[in-house]
Structure 1
């Protein structure tokens, strides 16, 4: 049964795109990256900052994990797919938005979806009352100006809008100028949604921004703002857009009864000239390096989450599904494996440590690494995307506290760690055998066999 409405907070979840661990001021970047981030830094001071929040290998897998609480190797949402091909999550998967909608929340999404680009799979079909944004990804904005682009074989991308129960509609052509404008429009619509629902809480607002995904170019109002180039201007813009949404929550008197979450979907952008930073960690997304796994996570919930707290305990993006479901008073599905663990008690200080000790890490269907407590074991070594995957005869083992750059194998001196890591892997692989994954590209009517 849902909790009484007045006891349940609003939830605002902002997800940056390819924002590395080392970009924000509160994570050691900011002015050092040519781009102060005062609004997000202030959010971290008012809430808790987590330095060991982990995600999946790239955009689609992380968004699938966020929405379902399940690792993408289970959901079949393994990678970005061009328009016109089967993609995203099958309707059988239950989304976080469906969880909260069924619990009585008004729901809206403004931003990048990347989990299905046809009727039946758009956000408005998957638990969101309203949606405005892009069904796939930002680099499509470059198509129309690309050499030899042929609209007869590749449909130009559009920003779309959808209302629950109605067909989605195309709005603006997603070209490079719209790419510059889109995050401003996402913030504007977010503020409007907050205003419309300020007297009718609770609500769930999901804002997956497009910055800092390539092409990383800012709104014209922010162009030249830093004098440090497009990337720094875009980072300043992103900080300002987050600030606009914070201000809307606070201005409507919702601050104390709103769980405000800011996170990133992946490690830093690796494509030049838009290369990002993972700070003290090595690597970018599309790898199993720590720079791919760790991204910013900030949670503000006045009176519940300790202001100014910092934790290096392991959290994972799949944990948001059960944690936010509990906050909303929504029961978890009992007919499938949920990989996420409920972190409510940890977030609000009712327990001192995370409820998670580790996790397995896949890129597509290949297990690349496993992380447990202070250690990570690599089975496939690839520091740079497309550098060539080296399948290791003897896996590398790193102590991430002693060696954050992952340079010194400790198999010989700390080999005892292989035991608990191997047990964790064995349990996960047994669960894949007991509950076979959804195959990539499965049709809409796919339903796993009952077990």
Structure 2
């Protein structure tokens, strides 16, 4: 046999042996070089009592270049809906459930007793923690002020901020406050597995600088720390403005280019702080893998008329003038470069309760959304990714602070069963209409023309509402709503 033929045969044998060896390797050895899907980071920037028309992209007159840029880089919602007050809106975001189910339909008042979410509730922070995320909250909580009902008990690894609301900053200015026997309002911090502790007083000295000196720097540091550690993170920013008492930062007071007074100063600073967090994400090198959500928890007006400014856009109603669109429709936007399409402005209906299942869908953790309780939120992740033309939400029910139904939006029609009178709605009782009022929001966004006063042929819309009402009532029989402050442990297993 010639030497060349021998060499060819030997090469063939060697190739065969190598092929057999490779095929015999265990599966993990064959796939170790394949890239793993990395979980996206999540920044949720939640502003307080800031209405639909506050920013440039929503027709506002104060320059908001950072917020406008954020909106242009993702999806901006024109029909994003929230709940009646701070506590119910934040409860909806956290749990994906209407607050009436969780006993969180209204803001708890001092001396009222235990309130907020029961520890049994499964929050978006718990879901993301169970998905391998580092989780943190900086700023306002407002979902419980007793040990066991604070952020570090509800899925957050750490938190720094206030238990309840910003107007507690003004309590100690009143001479008789000491005689009330209430403790001095404090700022708190805590870590998972430990009891939270107070760290400094919440007063009018810190009120105008708390975002600048604490909330934003802590958020920025958290982003940098986890990005450097290559750890997926969820940071929830409970920004302080525009909540009572509205107090401009000295660096922004009377300096807005709009020269609009307190309102303009607060919006200008808000935009600057959003820009700081956006820059932190970019500088940390994780911008392309970070979901950035920006929204408000409630509409403007009502309790803060002294700051000026028309904040609720073209809609009727404000914070207390419910359930008109100006009280429930607020700004919201989401960005994820390369995943969420940019430059989208949508009239699709979306709501606070939808964030929990939607975020779960976007990070691949839908399997963790609870199935042992009613979840009212809709997973709109396909819409966020540009894979669907609709969010999937056709109905939006609005409950009052008493836990009773006030209105139902179905597609373009809004049916109002009860409403607050104006002016000064906060001083007025709810009124029940003799015949529920129906408005066509597509042609009458200001809700001026009650079609059931001018044209009774629209009565068929009630049938659509009863479909939702019947389904809700059946679910309540099966899963009774949790009472305020109840130490709820769960529904009987089936």
With the length of structure 2 as denominator, give the TM-score of the two structures.
0.87
The answer to whether the Cα contact below 8 Å between 1:215 and 1:274 also exists between their aligned partners in 2 is no
Contact 1:90 1:442 in 2 (8 A): yes
Instruction: Determine if contact 2:114/2:146 at 8 Å carries over to the other structure.
Output: no
Q: CA deviation at 1:261?
A: 0.4
> What residue in structure 1 maps to residue 409 of structure 2?
371
1:293 to 1:5, Cα distance in 2 relative to 1, 3 A: farther
Local SS of the residue matching 1:430? helix
Deviation for aligned residue 1:447:
3.1
2:261/2:307 contact within 8 Å kept? no
Moved over 4 A (4+): none
| Worse-superposed segment, 259-268 or 358-367 | 358-367
Match of 2:348 in 1: 313
Q: Are residues 1:253 and 2:273 paired?
A: no
Pairwise CA distance, 1:182: 1.2
For structure 1, the residue ranges without an aligned partner over 5 or more in a row are none
Kindly tell me the number of residue pairs found equivalent between the two proteins. 443
Is 1:301 aligned to residue 345 of structure 2? no
Among residues 77, 99, 106, which one is paired with 1:72 in the alignment? 99
State the 1:75 CA deviation: 0.2
Q: After TM superposition, list the pairs within 5 Å mapping 1:236-315 onto structure 2.
A: 236-271=268-303, 272-274=305-307, 277-286=311-320, 287-315=322-350
Alignment check: 8 A CA contact 2:44 2:292 kept:
yes
CA contact (8 A) 2:99 2:105 kept: yes
Alpha-carbon shift at residue 207 of structure 1 (Å): 0.4
Q: Which stretch of the first structure deviates more once superposed, 276-285 or 40-49? A: 276-285
- 1:450 to partner: Cα distance: 4.1
Q: Which residue matches 1:132?
A: 160
What RMSD over aligned residues (CA atoms) do the two structures have, in Å? 1.6
Correspondence 1:426 to 2:470: yes
Contact 2:102 2:483 in 1 (8 A): yes
> What SS does the corresponding residue of 2:222 show, helix, strand or coil?
helix
Deviation (angstroms), 1:152: 5.3
Against the structure 1 CA distance between its residues 345 and 48, is the aligned structure 2 distance closer, same or farther, given a 3 Å change threshold? same
Q: Which residue of 2 aligns with 1:435?
A: 479
Separation (CA, whole Å) in 1 of partners of 2:287 and 2:176: 50
**Other structure's SS at 1:237 match:** helix
| 1:74-93 matched pairs, under 5 angstroms | 74-83=101-110, 85-93=113-121
CA distance in 2, matches of 1:151, 1:206: 36
Change (3 A) 1:319 1:172: same
Greater Cα shift, 288-297 or 223-232:
223-232
Larger RCO (CA within 8 A; separation ≥ 6): 1
Which of 207, 225, 228 is residue 260 of structure 2 equivalent to?
Answer: 228
SS at 1:299's partner residue? strand
Secondary structure, counterpart of 1:150 in structure 2: helix
Change (3 A) 1:230 1:338: same
> Counterparts of 1:112-151 in structure 2 under 5 Å?
112-150=140-178
Which range is displaced more, 270-279 or 62-71?
Answer: 270-279
Q: CA deviation at 1:147?
A: 4.6
Q: How does 1:297-376 map to 2 (within 5 A)?
A: 297-330=332-365, 331-363=368-400, 364-376=402-414
Runs of 5+ consecutive residues of structure 2 not aligned to the other structure = 1-34
Aligned to 1:401: 442
Whole-Å separation in 1 of the counterparts to 2:110 and 2:419: 31
Secondary structure in 2 matching 1:108: strand
d(CA) in 2 for partners of 1:357, 1:329: 24
The Cα of 1:414 is off from its aligned counterpart by 2.9
- 1:172 matched to which residue of 2? 200
Q: Which moved more, 1:162-171 or 1:54-63?
A: 162-171
Distance 2:37 2:204 in 1: 44
SS at match of 1:322: helix
Matched, 1:110 2:138: yes
Shift of 1:413: 4.2
**Displacement, 1:329?**
2.7
Instruction: Give the Cα–Cα distance (whole angstroms) in 2 for the partners of residues 295 and 42 of structure 1.
Output: 18
Distance in 1, Cα, partners of 2:419 & 2:372? 36
- Conservation of the 8 A alpha-carbon contact between 1:87 and 1:115: yes
Q: 1:447 and 2:478 equivalent?
A: no
Q: 2 CA distance for matches of 1:133 and 1:448? A: 32
Report whether the alignment pairs 1:206 with 2:236.
Answer: yes
| Larger Rg computed on CA atoms | 2
How far 1:425 sits from its partner (Å)? 1.8
Q: Is the 8 A contact 1:319 1:342 kept in 2?
A: yes
Task: Assess if the C-alpha contact under 8 Å between 1:66 and 1:317 holds in 2.
Answer: yes
SS state of the match for residue 177, structure 2?
coil
Report if aligned partners of 1:48, 1:298 keep a CA contact under 8 Å in 2: yes
Farther off after superposition, 278-287 or 59-68 = 278-287
CA distance in 2, matches of 1:400, 1:9: 36
